[in-house]
Amino acid sequence: MKDRENIRKRYLKDDVPTRLGGLAANLSRIQSFSRHDENQKAVDSLLDESMHFIEWTAAETAMDTAAELVELQIHLARWKHNWSRIWASASQRRLVAEQAVQWSRRVLELSGLLR
């Protein structure tokens, strides 16, 4: 993630629902970008950025929301750790893409932006 401190400062200017909306958008991008072989680095960067978004936001949410965000962060860390292997397998990449979009929907629900 380029210039992490500037991204963090900008991200923290938003309220928690907006931050969670940004996280949901990143997860949706992971799903979308995973369709094309040339996007491996972009998806890897989105994984990293999304983990930071959770780190910077979870403590400011309700305990149940924070727990779900930590669970998501663990999934993202596992994906990141195995990313080269996942990317090389079309079926594994599809599975991650499906899970990412499911998480995106859940985070959007948690944000309250849909109300």
This prediction has a pTM of: 0.93
What is the per-residue pLDDT for 99?
97
| Domain carrying residue 34 | 4-8+16-111
Cβ–Cβ under 8 Å, residues 85 and 92: yes
Give dist(CA 37, CA 15) in Å, integer. 35
Residues 24-49 have a mean pLDDT of: 95
Please state the domain count of the chain: 1
Angle at 28 between CA 9 and CA 109, to 5 degrees: 80
pLDDT tens, residue by residue, 63-99:
999 999 999 999 999 999 999 999 999 999 999 999 9
Average pLDDT, the chain: 95
What is the per-residue pLDDT for 4?
86
